[in-house]
Structure 1
Amino acid sequence: MTQSAARRTLRDDRREPDGGAADGPSDKASDNDGGDIPASGADGGHRPRRRMLKWFAAVLALLLVGSAGAGYVYYRHLNDNIKQNPLNLGDNKVAQPTPNAAGQTPLNILLIGSDARDSEENQKLGGARETFGATPLADVQMLLHLSADRTNMSVISMPRDTLVQIPKCTDPEDGTVYEASKGRVMTNQSLGHGGPGCTVATWQELTGIHIDHFVMVDFAGVVSMADAVGGVPVCVDANILSRDSKGHGSGLKLSEGTHPVKGEQALQWLRTRYGFEDGSDLARAKAQHMYMNSLVRELRENATLSSPNKLRRLAEEATRALTVDPGLDTVKKLYDLSDELRKVKPERVTMTTMPNRYVGARVEPTEDAEQLFRLVREDIALDGRDQKSARAAEAAQEATSTEPAAPDAEIAVQVVNGTRTDALAAASGRASAVAGILRETGFTGAFAGTAGSLSRERTAVRYPSADLEGDAHRVAEALGIPASSVQRSTDVSGVTLVVGADWREGTTYEAPEQDDTTPESAEALNGADDTACMKVNPAFTWS
């Protein structure tokens, strides 16, 4: 991706055809299978699961085998191949997690797939003529979390048209300032606000998760690295040709059974929507999960990858395709990272999608998404095989901000009523009642908000920026609300107490037992599952 392309202003005709973040279908040029295909949401209302894992498998190839065979032979040459950008272009930072008893900390890496059409090769693989040279979009965004003890790995992918507030970002090359978005816009636009460092800043704003590194790759990188690996086995339960009478489809053609796909055919597999199951993005996501699982197993188990020539080719292609932060800008740093990732066995890898719900033609995170983010923040394995130790649980409850709090009487606290549930109306007057409890406790600046009733399962204290973190923790402490329920959020303008359905009555808050299970809506998939085979839609088969 060229820096000049990354700085161009977003083109409305390809991002937001109707000018609104939540209006109209997703852009077909950046969400099709390789032809002029209607975007998700425009063909029968299928649930939009987006292109979640298209580039992740290729990036993981580098991370898992790194440059072990060629790294020091071509050290300078490969280092020169690697492009770099600053890690975080936003103003607000998230503190690093507290080390565990052994002094270890988790590692969080944001994987970004750019739809850049800034070269003839990328244009041929990925889009229409009118998109050539336009500002790239972060159409694939996945957070890879490596546990502190290096026993497990969690992956959260975010749909590309998730509505978020992009924070203020400054372009590192020319100093252009991109002000914070007014209202919510699609998360994939963050890449056009100065580069991948703004996508990192957006994730940190939304999740409260400290991100250590990013890795970005484009269309051409997928093809070149998949080809260098030598093929990834995938399975279809019938003959498939992803092409209809109008030319819609990726062009993927396979016979029934298991086949190794590589190069452009691998990209076709990852982009196919027409032909798999019901033709929705959900089906495409399943195919992408299958590919990623298979690639990881192939890299770990296929003896041919020990060939120095194959590893050298993979390292060459991967370093050309990558843009990384300065913490990963050498072959040695990438190899060290790959060494860490290789400690995790496939059966301890859990892939998920951020739980979401429709907002018009777009989506937004749900409360289950916050549950998923919390599990990552607290380094809890998503596969459910690890139980937090008593010490870790106690630390999570007692953890407080390093930011000092203002005196109680000087802390302004808005209290809002979030007690409504699917079965029950909001508890009448609850915001006023809890605001009164706070005032009696010494928070004389507490007041009931005028917003309509919300629906929140658990009571939480939210704050918008780092300078108010200490105040938020002080409010939680005074009411007996656990520290894990103190959340940073761009949806509030000051310290805000959201009274949830777990505190519909009474003057004392009793925290419910914390649920550390992965939400079903995250659709977790285990990395060791080698039995998957995509179901082919009968309308796209051949004999």
Structure 2
Amino acid sequence: MTQSSVHGEGTRPGVRPARVPGQRDGAHEQGSDSGDSGSAGGGSGSGSGGGPAGRQRRPGKRRALRWSAATLSVLILATAGVGYLYYEHLNGNIQKGKRTSGDSKARKTEPNAAGQTPLNILLIGSDSRSSDANVSLGGGRANRDNPPLGDVQMLIHVSADRRNASVVSIPRDTRVDIPKCTDPDTGEKFAATNDIINTSLARGGAGCTLATWQNLTGVYIDHWMTIDFAGVVKMADAIGGVEVCVKQNVWDHPLPGVPGGSGLKLKAGKQKVQGKEALQWLRTRHAFYSDLGRAKAQHMYMNSMIRTLKAQNVFTDAGRLTGLAEAATKSLTVSEELGTVKELYDLGMQLKSVPTDRITMTTMPTVVDPRNANHLVAADTDAEQMWTMLRDDIAFDDKGGTTATKAPTAAASATASTDPAADPGKIGVLVRNGTRTATLAAVGGRATTISEILSAKGFTNAAADTSGSLSVDRTVVLYPSADLAGDAQLVAKSLGIPASSVKKSTDVSGVTVTVGADWREGKAYPKKTAPKAGQLPATADKVVGSDTSACMEVYSPYRW
């Protein structure tokens, strides 16, 4: 290794210059956090009609869809075991799309000792009114030609050993960073923006929503599936009814000052719903207090559906199995790598092995958006704890114990580089400020502070990138090529940053430290204890798949 010059300069081309003349640190950045996006409220629905956060639905806003039929479609394949009845002609029923159409750099989790990796599937419910059937079921004829919104978004994470599954919903009105995306059908390009998450579907299709999730969570997502109003009813009818429960009589209908409502009308107690009534259950928001309550009702429905299918002797009923297969393939649009019956069947068989008592359904912890009381943002600490558990394949429950096939944590799977590091004074390092979050402004001068710490440790060519702040959950050290891997690891070690946070990236041209929201203060990188199995934040509002006693509380104005 040549050490006669700063790494990345002279004999080591491609490193970004140590300083950007004339620029200051990112404390005064004029970025997307300076105000709400102009499209944040356009056509996306509103808050609840009287939930705990006081989010009121505004007259004239689109009535939103919140249901989980995309999940039903996946899990039907898993629990009914219908793959052997599929015929090649069913492939023609399935619509396909590009897996990702957005700017995202998430990477797959390293295999565990048994060579297994987790499986992540994004399920999206579209409110499209693009057909007569969808208009009839969802209303809103005036919105027929509008771009669809992704009003239901859930991530299913199946552990590497396929022994547990975790489901996380994000409420549709949650404000997030949406990356630049390109519509795969039209070629239209969309600039990166900060907006509520359901608008991502109209900015490049499901592939843009997938990229948005990957950037938010750091979790690599293998596949996506979408379904619309008509698909929900097809699937609900094919299932033959699912038991739900309300604690009081419920009627989700318009009230003075609160228009809309799903139309759901049920008596208190347990009863089966199917077809359009199932769609009403999955769309009910006002009567269940808020979007957060609606997500919980959807989770209860999904769990009940899984239990129903597992309890039925469907394997000997070829006609019914064929009906389920037909409904599933006609209702789904999937990412292209799932575009055959065989691929869907193989996916279903992986999901089938998870027992109901090890399926944990949750909602991402949120707080009221400080910019708009009708919107939400991620609760930084609790949400990041949840994403860490998904990234490191840590079960949401504590029933698994310790097994030899458990996926290693990111720290355990990190390997040292064979590239020797240069002397600190020969390494060029650029430090960026990534401390901005959805609720907090960037910490002024943070990049300068860390670059000065590096300089004091002998990295005299370290400098702050003062071009503006970023939003990064975890501090990372990036490098562009293998010959700089050793340098990057030495920089990380000097700052106390774990080796698992050292990553190769084509987005940088030299060793680059991005100081994240996890290091907003102090000179020493904060040491964190990895969460243990079952250590979900209390705000996750979990529902377990085997819980047959779950029952929804009805908001008093909607009781009868």
SS at match of 1:275: helix
Partner of 1:4: none
Alignment map for 1:451-470 (pairs within 5 Å): 460-461=475-476
The 10-residue stretch of structure 1 (197-206 or 392-401) with the greater mean CA deviation from structure 2 = 392-401
Structure 2 Cα separation of the partners of residues 113 and 329 of structure 1: 18
Structure 2 Cα separation of the partners of residues 272 and 460 of structure 1: 40
Alignment map for 1:54-453 (pairs within 5 Å): 54-65=68-79, 68=82, 71-72=85-86, 75-174=87-186, 176-181=187-192, 183-245=193-255, 248-276=260-288, 279-303=289-313, 306-359=316-369, 360-361=371-372, 362-365=375-378, 366-386=380-400, 396-397=411-412, 399=414, 409-414=427-432, 434-447=450-463
- In structure 2, relative to structure 1, the CA distance for the partners of 1:168 and 1:415 (3 Å cut) is closer
SS at match of 1:134: coil
The 10-residue stretch of structure 1 (120-129 or 408-417) with the greater mean CA deviation from structure 2 = 408-417
SS at match of 2:225: strand
Structure 1 Cα separation of the partners of residues 315 and 131 of structure 2: 30
The 10-residue stretch of structure 1 (194-203 or 221-230) with the greater mean CA deviation from structure 2 = 194-203
Indicate whether 1:540 and 2:558 are aligned: yes
Decide whether the 8 Å contact of 1:53 with 1:292 is kept in 2: no
Unaligned 5+ runs, structure 2 = 1-34, 58-63
- In structure 2, relative to structure 1, the CA distance for the partners of 1:463 and 1:522 (3 Å cut) is farther
Per-residue deviation at 1:384?
3.0
Structure 1 Cα separation of the partners of residues 299 and 228 of structure 2: 19
SS at match of 2:82: coil
Structure 2 Cα separation of the partners of residues 364 and 125 of structure 1: 30
The 10-residue stretch of structure 1 (353-362 or 431-440) with the greater mean CA deviation from structure 2 = 431-440
The 10-residue stretch of structure 1 (289-298 or 384-393) with the greater mean CA deviation from structure 2 = 384-393
Per-residue deviation at 1:364?
2.5
Per-residue deviation at 1:108?
0.9
SS at match of 2:85: coil
Residue number among 509, 529, 532 corresponding to 1:513 in the alignment:
529
- Map Cα deviations across residues 249-297 of structure 1 (whole Å, 9 max, x no partner): 2111222221110000000111112333xx3223322221211110111
- Map Cα deviations across residues 49-68 of structure 1 (whole Å, 9 max, x no partner): 98665334432343324661
- In structure 2, relative to structure 1, the CA distance for the partners of 1:313 and 1:47 (3 Å cut) is same
- AA in 2 matched with 1:526: V
The 10-residue stretch of structure 1 (320-329 or 42-51) with the greater mean CA deviation from structure 2 = 42-51
User: What is the Cα-based RMSD across aligned positions, in Å?
Assistant: 4.1
- AA in 2 matched with 1:233: E
Structure 2 Cα separation of the partners of residues 417 and 188 of structure 1: 25
Residue number among 498, 501, 520 corresponding to 1:482 in the alignment:
498
- AA in 1 matched with 2:559: T
Per-residue deviation at 1:154?
0.9
Per-residue deviation at 1:411?
2.1
Decide whether the 8 Å contact of 2:214 with 2:220 is kept in 1: yes
Partner of 1:13: none
Between the two structures, name the one with larger relative contact order (CA 8 Å, sep ≥ 6). 2
- AA in 1 matched with 2:135: Q
Per-residue deviation at 1:541?
3.2
Structure 2 Cα separation of the partners of residues 428 and 325 of structure 1: 41
Normalised TM-score (structure 2):
0.77
Unaligned 5+ runs, structure 1 = 1-18, 32-38
Alignment map for 1:518-533 (pairs within 5 Å): 518-533=536-551
Decide whether the 8 Å contact of 2:287 with 2:554 is kept in 1: yes
The 10-residue stretch of structure 1 (129-138 or 62-71) with the greater mean CA deviation from structure 2 = 62-71
Number of residue-to-residue matches in the alignment: 500
Per-residue deviation at 1:223?
0.7
SS at match of 2:198: helix
- In structure 2, relative to structure 1, the CA distance for the partners of 1:160 and 1:274 (3 Å cut) is closer
- Map Cα deviations across residues 524-543 of structure 1 (whole Å, 9 max, x no partner): 2211111011223443333x
Decide whether the 8 Å contact of 2:120 with 2:156 is kept in 1: yes
The 10-residue stretch of structure 1 (256-265 or 52-61) with the greater mean CA deviation from structure 2 = 52-61
- In structure 2, relative to structure 1, the CA distance for the partners of 1:250 and 1:306 (3 Å cut) is farther
The 10-residue stretch of structure 1 (442-451 or 197-206) with the greater mean CA deviation from structure 2 = 442-451
Decide whether the 8 Å contact of 1:51 with 1:160 is kept in 2: no
Normalised TM-score (structure 1):
0.79
- AA in 2 matched with 1:344: V
The 10-residue stretch of structure 1 (134-143 or 431-440) with the greater mean CA deviation from structure 2 = 431-440
Residue number among 40, 45, 50 corresponding to 2:47 in the alignment:
40
- In structure 2, relative to structure 1, the CA distance for the partners of 1:411 and 1:217 (3 Å cut) is same
- In structure 2, relative to structure 1, the CA distance for the partners of 1:530 and 1:303 (3 Å cut) is same
- AA in 2 matched with 1:396: A
- In structure 2, relative to structure 1, the CA distance for the partners of 1:447 and 1:219 (3 Å cut) is same
Per-residue deviation at 1:201?
1.9
